[in-house]
Amino acid sequence: MTWYVLLIVVVGIERIAELVVSKRNLAWSKANGGTEFGASHYPTMVVLHVGLLVGCLVEPLVLHRPFIPALGWPMLAVVVAAQVLRWWCITTLGSQWNTRVVVIPGADRVTGGPYRLIPHPNYVAVVIEGVALPLVHSSWITTVVFTVLNAALLRTRLKVENAALASLS
């Protein structure tokens, strides 16, 4: 269990690194005339993602979930793949990436990197991670709860983001 706690701590540190990059990029975007869309759902997104990490820690401790190697190791590989995809998205978008939906007037829509393959690859990474991270240590309740709540949030988020991207045209 110790290594799993360490994994969740590392993912938490990675989230903090994302927030640092996001804050820097948000300042750049606003300095370049960026307009934020859908700010009202952002706090819900933060709570949901913190809840995922908390659930990953609490469920195996409280409900005595075992580590099942045949499930845990493949799920760990999937978690790593999701992180690689997430950072591919971040590096592809460069200063335009952040955790909020911000459109900079006159900016071109990014169509390179993973965006040439699928429209919202970062959300694919979030969905994959939300399933795989808890299952590394058999936390299926956290997986189900996060997946259902995240689906509802992504429905709102995708509407907002698609409307914001349409304003680039």
pTM greater than 0.75: yes
Q: Which of 79, 48, 54 is CA-nearest to residue 153?
A: 48
What is the spatial distance between Cα 109 and Cα 123, in angstroms, rounded to a whole number? 17
How many C-alpha atoms does 81 have within 13 Å on its Cβ side?
A: 11
Backbone angles phi, psi at 100, to 5 degrees: -105, 170
Q: Which of 28, 25, 35, 160 is CA-nearest to residue 105?
A: 35
First-to-last C-alpha distance (Å) of the chain: 50
Residue reference for tokens 């949901």: 48
Spell out where 85-147 has E strands.
Answer: 101-103
pLDDT at 169 (0 to 100): 62
Annotated domain spans of the chain: 2-13+36-94+106-166
The per-residue pLDDT string of the chain (169 residues; one tens digit each, 9 = 90 and over) reads 899 999 999 999 999 999 999 999 999 999 999 989 988 999 999 999 999 999 999 999 999 999 999 999 999 999 999 999 999 999 999 999 999 999 998 888 888 999 999 989 999 999 999 999 999 999 999 999 999 999 999 999 999 988 888 877 6
